[in-house]
Amino acid sequence: MTALIRWLGMLVLACFAQAATAADPAALYGQHCAACHGADRLGGMGPALLPESLERLRDSELDTVLRDGRAATQMPAFGATLAPPDLHGLARWLRSAPADAPQWSADAIRASHVVTHAPGTLPARPAFSADPQNLFVVVEAGSHHMTVLDGDRLAPVHRFATRFALHGGPKFSRDGRYVYMASRDGWVSKYDLWNLAYVAEIRVGINTRNVAVSDDGRWVLAGNTLPRTLVLLHAEDLSVARVIDVRGRNGDASRVSAVYDAAPRHSFIAALKDIAEVWEIPYADAAGRPLASLAPRAIVLDDVLDDFFFDQPYRHILGASRGGGGQVIDLDQRRKVASLALGGMPHLGSGITWQRDGREVMASPDLGQGRITVIDMQDWHTVTTVPTNGPGFFLRSHERTPYAWADAMMSPRRDTLQVIDKQSLRVVGSVTPSPGRTAAHVEFTRDGRYALVSLMERDGAIVIYDAATLQEVKRIPMDKPIGKYNVFNKTTRSAGTSH
Ligand code: HEC
């Protein structure tokens, strides 16, 4: 009897559920969303809506966007048009991959290429009086803008719109004239900082990680997660040179986790997310003479490496694997040469180096625990761990400052940066730009005198500190400034910042 009642109850529930989720999400998408986000979900005037595109959006945030739209953008609210079960079904459907894997062929890449200013047509001198070597670019993720900041006057020079969801870590040409940016949805843009104008754009993929620029200024390499490709562009106008399928020795395709320019080696390095290989792509020989063909060479590893640090000469990679544990890869010997006793979840990608007691040390934050790990770069032993307020993401310094700055972004103390003495390895001070609000990502002026901190909120700011006294000097309002990059420190590969 009870079994029968339960069965009847389930039948009623099933009918109800079916009535309530009557609408087919694919049909709803075609009717309400495709015009802006593309019938294939690859984007249009709105961003791409594939599972990879939405990785950083929490479920609750996705529900909110669909229901309420996004104020001051073209994204409408659907809370009044579509019933809650329809919205919920649509949100879940967006998290699933299309039956046919989305394609982005070399032809599609070429068709997206736009040159707004042909090479050589704009004046080869800055259109403003600021020191072009001491400019910063600030990525404002809130409303997708970039601000160009004069590092001497500590004031904005210009602000312009970028592609949707630009990644942090734009790259400069060696002379500092051009900045190359990559967006989540695969757009690579080249911007002339001296003339404050875009010069070229191209869509290299559907979901892109980042770009690297060769030290000789000839190449831009983009790493994609969708499709599984590396795209080599001519830096001059961003035209396509080659699309490289990323496949391991066993034939498995892999997403790219990041690409780097190993300038002293005259090569690009590609870190791969799904196969235990690192690729090196030389673009010049040892004497710096350009190579005609840029062919990847795989270095086979024991483990997939998730996170990477290079020493200053780009001889060694310090890598952390997913299961924890770290290793040192010698790029000349093309093999693992040491293990690192790291423990925890080190964020090697934001490691920095300096000299201490005549030895080079490397320090990196930990994504899981409040501590900075300091490693000796000669014998790879752990010198010490410096306890901090909580798990953090970035560690930054400069050759001309005695301190390294660490955030605690992934903890309740996310509003405070701690300042560590690089010789005593002790916390000697802290700054809290705005109590209760996230502060992280420090970059120094060219001379190391000022530290620029991001208040990473929609109504945020760049807060500027005297790097010696830790006194606030100024704050400049910004819309979620996720990162800022100084031309001189990046192009000279300062040991105090990632490159
Ligand atoms: C009139 C054009 C338009 C229509 C119609 C539209 N969108 Fe959007 N949508 C946008 C734009 C533009 C954005 C980017 C907003 C911003 O700048 O944050 C966006 C953003 C989004 C985002 C957030 C993406 C992210 O990564 O932050 C989601 C999710 C989304 N739309 C889903 C939908 C769905 C589902 C529909 C249909 C029910 C839809 N949109 C209909 C234009 C549109």
Q: Which two tokens stand for residue 8?
A: 């009847």
Q: Whose CA is nearest to atom 21 of ligand 1?
A: 75
Q: Which atom of ligand 1 is nearest to the CA of 94?
A: 35
Q: Per-residue pLDDT for 5 more than 60?
A: no
Look at ligand 1, atom 18, and give the residue with the nearest C-alpha: 70
Q: Ligand 1, residues 75, 145, 163, 480: which to mutate, most atoms within 8 A of Cβ? A: 75
The predicted pLDDT at position 498 comes to 81
Task: Report pLDDT for 424.
Answer: 98
Ligand 1 neighbourhood includes 145 CB (under 6 angstroms): no
CATH T-level fold of 2-94? Cytochrome Bc1 Complex; Chain D, domain 2 (1.10.760)
Cα of 373 to ligand 1 centre, how many Å?
41
Cβ of 241: how many Cβ atoms within 10 Å? 15
Question: How far is it, in rounded angstroms, from Cα 284 to Cα 268?
Answer: 10
Mean pLDDT, rounded, of the chain: 94
Q: Answer yes or no: is the C-beta of 78 below 6 A from any ligand 1 atom.
A: yes
Task: Give Cα separations from 147 to 103, 158, 462, 477 (angstroms).
Answer: 34, 6, 11, 11
Nearest to 104 by CA among 213, 216, 7, 240: 240
Q: What is the CATH number of domain 352-499?
A: 2.130.10.10
Place of tokens 């490159």: 499
Kindly give the distance from the C-alpha atom of residue 93 to the centroid of ligand 1, in angstroms, as a whole number. 15
Instruction: Name residue 51's amino acid.
Output: P
| Predicted confidence (pLDDT) per residue in 336-369, tens digit | 999 998 878 889 999 999 999 999 999 999 999 9
Q: What is the mean pLDDT of residues 202-221?
A: 97
Kindly give the number of the ligand 1 atom that is closest to the alpha carbon of 33: 37
- With a 6 A CB cut-off, is 57 part of the ligand 1 pocket? yes
Stretch (H or E) spanning 487: helix 487-491
Around Cβ 402, how many Cβ atoms within 10 Å?
17
The string of pLDDT tens digits covering residues 324-333 is 778 999 999 9
Proportion of the chain above pLDDT 90, given as a percent = 89
234-250 residue pLDDT tens = 999 999 999 999 999 99
Residue of the CA atom closest to atom 29 of ligand 1: 62
Per-residue confidence at 6, pLDDT binned at 50, 70, 90?
Answer: low
Q: What is the CA(272)–ligand 1 centre distance, in A?
A: 30
Is the minimum distance from the CB of 90 to ligand 1 under 6 angstroms? yes
Using CA atoms, how far apart are residues 98 and 17, in angstroms rounded to an integer? 24
How much is the average pLDDT of 141-170? Answer: 97
Q: Does the global pTM surpass 0.85?
A: yes
Q: How far is the CA of 27 from the centre of ligand 1 (A)?
A: 16
Domain locations along the chain = 2-94, 352-499
Residue whose CA lies nearest to ligand 1 atom number 37: 33
In ligand 1, the atom with minimum distance to the C-alpha of 53 is 26
For residues 298 and 287, give the distance between their C-alpha atoms in angstroms, rounded to a whole number. 22
| Closest Cα to atom 6 of ligand 1 | 33
pLDDT at 17: 45
Angle (CA) 354-219-145 rounded to 5° is 75
- CB of 50 closer than 6 angstroms to any ligand 1 atom: no
